[in-house]
Structure 1
Amino acid sequence: MSKLNASRREFLRLSSLLSSAGALGVASPFALNLATMSSAAAQTSVGDYKAIVCLFLYGANDHANTVLATDSTSWTQYQTVRTTNEAGSIALPAIGANGGVIPIVSNTTQAGRSFALHPSMTELKTLFDAGRAAIISNVGPLVMPTTLEQYKAGSVKLPPKLFSHNDQQSLWQAYAPEGASYGWGGRMGDLLAANNSNPVFTAISASGNAVFLSGRNVIQYQVGSSGAVPIAGLSGSLFGSATAGSTLRNIISGDTSNYFQKEHAAVTSRAINAQSLLSPAMAAAGGNGVPNPSQYTNPNTGALANNALAIQLQTVARIIAGRSTLGAKRQVFFVSMGGFDTHDAQRTAQADLLARVSHAIAYFDTTMGNLVGSNMRNQVTLFTASDFGRTFTSNGDGTDHGWGSHHFIVGGAVKGKDIYGTFPVTGLKHSQDVGSGSLLPQFSVDQYGATLANWFGLSNTQINDVFPNIVNFSNRNLGFMG
């Protein structure tokens, strides 16, 4: 009997994370208090709202064809290494050539260096030139600052399971290999959820389950393009009966003496209430002017096509537009796109992938610039992440698994038109080359995330809690946020 009682107590303790307000003052991820929400809605304004959007590029984007050094020395090295005898050579055409790379000019010059973006990223160049996009050069998982000599000697602690897709995706999102429980987006949500009258809308994924949004208290809320997925049959006619829907609801959410059934019913009831709140808020936002994304142009075929990534970002925009109804002041979002594992046919595949990324980000920026009558650019920051970079060497018509990579930060609060960090030497056998042109990261994911967290409103103590390795780095803030 004592074991059963202990199990019951443990079950109730774990259940309380879902169903009750704890001593930390953070309400349940599913709990709804409509009266409080009405009050918060009246108080929420553009100025006290902030959102972070993680755009994850699954498969590992090839950074060396995304942001390129084009000064004479660098370009010669680039063409030498990336041009092969294969029909699928991955080297891109020069600036000014047909389909050539797109030049960009950074506010901070790097002596003797010049830079460009992939030919498919014309919209991102426009945002960069406008000062609403920046580039972080060579960022990746690190436990502590590491030199090439230390890496080769194994004299410092290294991130586990380097070059493994699943593990590095998890390291980027949750600072631990596959199987991690908490992501840094979810942990930020834990610490700031008290700002929201309904914490269920703190951490939201428009792209399925992601460990990035998993917190200790906050549980990610997953939505589709139409918002929360409703439980079928609860409204309207069910099996030809006008009353069967309400009967079904009573069955799945009614009170009971069985503890498992009781908790299931409570969670189900709260999920129904959350859906009933989110769906009309998103519908109203759509009706009030969150535009549908245009189609993008496939650079390989010239054909117009729908962009699923832009549709995910439209979903995010509609939720942000409904922030007052939802009582939200701090939100973390997750969107993603796959297909970046370009071991083969990279030049063709990446051209289409980056065209979709550039088009989707530009759509989101434009939408934030006039979101139902409000300019939300300064309140919303999007950043990219990916498994890892890829090798600088080519395997013929593709590239293989690497480590460090270049990434984009976009938004009105970004100190844009800049490349942060010393851009790596282009070529092989230099101080950041761990083999085949795979980059030893200059900046850690912890530094990247901590800079965003500081802007988001976390204190230094909270940042230490969210990013366990940040204490090993003297530079906690990379300076790309205003």
Structure 2
Amino acid sequence: MTHISRRHFHQMAMSAGAAAALGMFGRGVAYGAPGSGFRAMVGVFLFGGNDGWNMLVPTDGAAYSAYVSSRQTVALPPSGVVPLAGSGFGLHKAMASLAPIWDKGAMALVLNAGTLAAPLTKATYLSRPDLRPSNLMSHSDEQEHWQGLRAQTTNRDGFMGRLHDRMGASGVPPVISFGGNNIALIGQQAQPLVLPSKGVLSRYGSNNSAIDAAINSFAGGTGLDDVTASTADTIKDAYAMTAATSAVLGTTGSVEAFFVDPATGAALTSDVSQQLKRVARMIEARSTFGHTRQSFFVSQGGYDTHDAQVNYGNVVAGTHANLLGDLALALSAFYKAMEALGLQDNVTAFTMSDFGRTYRGNAQLGSDHAWGNNHLVIGGGVTAGGVFGRYPDPTLGGADDISSEGRFLPTTATEEYLGAILKWHGVSDADLPYVVPNWGTWSSNGRGPLGLYG
């Protein structure tokens, strides 16, 4: 019989059982050079592959004409785009609520980012299949590649989880998800806190004091094996976190008031808004948990828009517009809440997604799986008016298209994008190769993290 140490069993138990709902108390090691003051990063994963080409649209004359020519069935008219002053780009009209954040200098644009194992040109992509990400354009694989930052191998842990490994933490873990248990959150030692987007946590049982007594007996009893003792420790940790988080999530703070539709005053009810509201509440209560650094995972699904992405006869409306509208309202409310807390420069929210969509729309008024994509970064003291990366040549079959439908080769690697946020968050140069496994490729030979923060 194989001997399982108490520490290893505790980790397995949390991963397989209680961690799915509650995670475990942080047991990390030293976090490299975090700097002074509180900081939090909030990753918003858009599951299904967001069409970033309609989220951010070129507005300059020739660039917009090329956009219309190549996008065809899904191209937005000028009336469907809200220009972002000085950028040469505009947001989908459904995201108009984010334009004031751009005007404040608190939003940055990241163009044509995606998963890459190594720098590629179209010629090397075609001649060197060994340099391509594995199973490119597969939902599950590309979600894993984004979150794990290994583009050619299986990812069993992710960048937030590995960051957690390097943090000195106790009590409620500082890596928290309201968007489900995902690869991004899992460390090699540490596990996240995974919480619901609605409701409160509670214990069920007719006699909790009797249950506690039994657990304590298991934990401290002589002659009992590691499995029994670690199970008891796991349950005790989970119960302690239940009490700590319920005390925060079960009460109203100041941030909830900002999660309303500015046009109607009605409370925002989308799931992504509920998740971000809870993130705001956990940030507001950071001192309760003793957190000086926090990392959050939020998600929104429904972006696999092969058909009905836009409405027939009204391309400004449709499935994609509805999703982007909910996302923008939630992000705008979240930013206002951070402003009210005086933390708008201490918290960075940023988008991620499986991949982009084909530039050319299809006959079903949708778009198909592609590669490079555009993203938004909000708060954190980003460079005002910042536009990072290079927008691809929109010519179908052109220099940046690996197909004939507008599947654009990324010009910015996920490591260059997320690495910039991780450095801002406080990850030291010494720890970056651990948190970002392919960091050496993207921090040399003229490559490096984007200058998101100046």
Contact 1:32 1:274 in 2 (8 A): no
| Residue 168 (structure 1) aligns with | 142
2:81 to 97, 101, 110: 101
Distance in 1, matches of 2:400 and 2:123, equals: 10
| Residue 472 (structure 1) aligns with | 441
| Residue 176 (structure 2) aligns with | 204
| Residue 137 (structure 1) aligns with | 111
Q: What is the 5 A alignment of 1:43-192?
A: 48-83=37-72, 89-94=73-78, 97=79, 100-106=80-86, 114-154=88-128, 157-176=131-150, 180-191=155-166
CA shift for structure 1 position 156 = 5.7
Q: Deviations over 1:376-424 (max 9, x none)?
A: 1111111100000010111111010000100011104211322112222
Instruction: Give the root-mean-square deviation of aligned CA atoms.
Output: 2.6
TM-score by length of 2: 0.86
| Residue 239 (structure 2) aligns with | 272
Q: What is the 5 A alignment of 1:330-479?
A: 330-347=293-310, 348-371=318-341, 375-396=342-363, 397-435=365-403, 436-473=405-442, 474=444, 475-479=447-451
Q: 1:54 to 1:253 in 2, by over 3 A?
A: farther
Q: 1:332 to 1:358 in 2, by over 3 A?
A: same
Q: What is the 5 A alignment of 1:207-286?
A: 207-225=179-197, 229-233=201-205, 238=206, 244-252=207-215, 254-255=217-218, 256=221, 257-283=224-250, 286=252
Distance in 2, matches of 1:226 and 1:356, equals: 17
1:15 to 9, 19, 29: 9
Q: Deviations over 1:234-259 (max 9, x none)?
A: xxxx3xxxxx2322333455425143
| Residue 40 (structure 1) aligns with | none
Distance in 2, matches of 1:342 and 1:297, equals: 27
Distance in 1, matches of 2:107 and 2:298, equals: 18
CA shift for structure 1 position 12 = 2.6
Query: What's the secondary structure of 1:382's corresponding residue?
Result: strand
Task: Give unmatched runs, 5+ long, in structure 2.
Answer: 15-22, 28-34, 311-317
Q: 1:471 to 1:168 in 2, by over 3 A?
A: same
Distance in 1, matches of 2:176 and 2:410, equals: 29
Q: 1:74 to 1:289 in 2, by over 3 A?
A: closer
Query: What's the secondary structure of 2:431's corresponding residue?
Result: helix
Q: 1:320 to 1:132 in 2, by over 3 A?
A: same
CA shift for structure 1 position 226 = 5.2
Q: 1:228 to 1:220 in 2, by over 3 A?
A: farther
Distance in 1, matches of 2:215 and 2:263, equals: 47
Contact 2:95 2:325 in 1 (8 A): yes
Q: 1:15 to 1:106 in 2, by over 3 A?
A: farther
| Residue 110 (structure 1) aligns with | none
Q: What is the 5 A alignment of 1:281-292?
A: 281-283=248-250, 286-288=252-254, 290-291=256-257
| Residue 290 (structure 2) aligns with | 327
2:279 to 316, 333, 344: 316
Query: What's the secondary structure of 2:211's corresponding residue?
Result: helix
Distance in 2, matches of 1:141 and 1:288, equals: 38
CA shift for structure 1 position 175 = 2.4
CA shift for structure 1 position 433 = 0.8
Contact 2:351 2:376 in 1 (8 A): yes
Letter of the structure 2 residue corresponding to residue 431 of structure 1: A
Q: Deviations over 1:346-405 (max 9, x none)?
A: 12111001001111110000000113xxx0111111110000001011111101000010
Distance in 1, matches of 2:174 and 2:37, equals: 15
Q: 1:358 to 1:419 in 2, by over 3 A?
A: same
Distance in 1, matches of 2:163 and 2:259, equals: 30
CA shift for structure 1 position 75 = 2.2
Distance in 2, matches of 1:19 and 1:429, equals: 51
Distance in 1, matches of 2:267 and 2:243, equals: 35
Query: What's the secondary structure of 1:408's corresponding residue?
Result: strand
Q: Deviations over 1:108-130 (max 9, x none)?
A: xxxxxx32111111122221121
| Residue 313 (structure 2) aligns with | none
Letter of the structure 2 residue corresponding to residue 410 of structure 1: I
CA shift for structure 1 position 305 = 6.3
Distance in 1, matches of 2:320 and 2:8, equals: 44
Query: What's the secondary structure of 1:460's corresponding residue?
Result: coil
| Residue 18 (structure 2) aligns with | none
Distance in 2, matches of 1:121 and 1:388, equals: 20
What percent of counterpart residues are identical? 31
Letter of the structure 2 residue corresponding to residue 121 of structure 1: M
| Residue 37 (structure 1) aligns with | none
- Bigger-Rg structure (1/2): 1
Q: 1:289 to 1:422 in 2, by over 3 A?
A: closer
Task: Give unmatched runs, 5+ long, in structure 1.
Answer: 21-28, 34-45, 84-88, 108-113, 239-243
Contact 2:134 2:153 in 1 (8 A): no
Distance in 2, matches of 1:19 and 1:328, equals: 25
Letter of the structure 2 residue corresponding to residue 405 of structure 1: N
Contact 1:74 1:427 in 2 (8 A): no
| Residue 43 (structure 1) aligns with | none
Contact 1:49 1:379 in 2 (8 A): yes
Query: What's the secondary structure of 2:377's corresponding residue?
Result: strand
Distance in 1, matches of 2:153 and 2:340, equals: 39
TM-score by length of 1: 0.81
Letter of the structure 2 residue corresponding to residue 393 of structure 1: R
Q: Deviations over 1:170-213 (max 9, x none)?
A: 0000124795211001111211x21x443x42210011111101
Mean alpha-carbon deviation: is it higher for 148-157 or for 316-325? 148-157
Distance in 2, matches of 1:141 and 1:127, equals: 28
